[in-house]
Amino acid sequence: MDADGEILFSSFLAGALLKNKSIKYIDLANQMTLFENTTNYNIVDDGYDKLSDIVIDTGDEIRLNRDFDNIYNNICTIKEYLYSMTNIGIRSFFEIEDIGIEKNNDLCKKKYGIFKKRKTRVLR
């Protein structure tokens, strides 16, 4: 996410949505400019495909289409998913409080079924 001083747009947007649940495009542009001017990071465009199934683009704003407590991909809540996409710089910028999943950052990553873990032997 933050290789060579770069932040993905989707990560920045996740932070903005954690703060407000919706953000107007003009406010998002202003926040991005302020973030880049006050930190050593540049926001790079990756679209927001990672968020496309939980946000709605209304034309003048982007907002969550589900509540923070809804389960995402049968693994974690929307809030935990958004939180896992941010880093400490983004959370600090948006003044987002720690929700305690930092050490368990793989909470929202894909979990594998039992057959991925099981070792098998082939008999000849």
pLDDT in tens, 72-120: 988 899 999 999 999 999 999 999 988 775 444 455 655 444 444 455 5
**What does the pLDDT read at residue 38?**
93
**What does the pLDDT read at residue 63?**
96
Residue with tokens 């991909």: 73
pTM: 0.77
Residue with tokens 């199934």: 53
pLDDT in tens, 3-21: 558 999 999 999 999 999 9
**What does the pLDDT read at residue 22?**
96
**Rounded CA gap, 38 and 30, in Å?**
12
Q: What is the DSSP code (8-state) at residue 4?
A: G
59 conformational bin, left if phi > 0, alpha if psi -120 to 50, beta if neither: left
